[in-house]
Amino acid sequence: MMRILNEKSLNKSRDEITSKSYDVCKKANFPVDIDDVYNHLFGNSNSTTRFLVNDNNEIVGFGVAEEYNLKVNDIDATLSYLQGMVIESTYQGKGYSTELLKNIYKHYNSDLFSLRTQNIKMALSMLNLFKDTLLKMPSKTISKESLNKLIESLRVLEPFYDIDDKGIIKNCYQNQLYPNLNDLKQIDSSINLESNDSLAVIVQPKTTKSKILLPYKQKNNQETEGKTK
């Protein structure tokens, strides 16, 4: 039975956790060195890490996230940002990335949940995570005005400093991490990433307390209802 555990529940030293997590990255062909892995897992005391563990108590995947405060439409809000997630190739395509995302989101229960990525699978996992959402980005149902307000708010956060008006983070990576950036056109045909760019993906679950932004159609419906009353 696969489990999702925090560092304390693993009952392993940080050196062992780092070594096993580095092996996961190598098996997933993810280009990092062991120091990168250690800093990613333990370099930020404010981050939250969850590990995917198999029946043999071996780490076969992990996800790391951090929470930020921001203001959207003059509303104070929180945003969980997925710093990274890697799952060993043998365990990919089985829904474990979604389960890791759910576990991390449950820890924060933030108003917005986000990542930046070149990976179509991770982008779709995030976009499809919640069946009922107030906001999905990228999405053609968001008004340009609302999108601009969201992007303006995101630009004050470190992961999104260089985000453009289409939701692309420029010069995000030193090298291209995934072989076919055109895969992301499955989400939006207008997406055009350079080798160092990444795509911002953001969802706002209905379970959160603040309605930061509404999809364009829902906003129009509410305005129409208001005029007919």
Report pLDDT for 2. 92
Q: Where are the domains of the chain?
A: 3-223
Q: Which two tokens stand for residue 26?
A: 């190598």
Q: Which residues contact 223 (CB under 8 A, 6 or more apart)?
A: none
CATH code given to domain 3-223? 3.40.630.30
Give the residue among 170, 203, 165, 213 at the shortest CA–CA distance from 79: 203
Using a pLDDT cut of 70, give the percent of the chain over it: 92
Burial 154-178 (b: 16+ CB within 10 A, else e): beebebbeebeeebbbeebeeeebb
Place 74 in a pLDDT band, splitting at 50, 70 and 90.
confident
Q: What is the largest CA-CA distance in the chain?
A: 64
**Alpha-carbon span 4 to 163, nearest angstrom:** 32
Q: What is the pLDDT of residues 39-56, one digit of tens each?
A: 999 998 889 999 999 999
Q: What is the pLDDT of residues 125-144, one digit of tens each?
A: 999 988 888 889 998 778 88
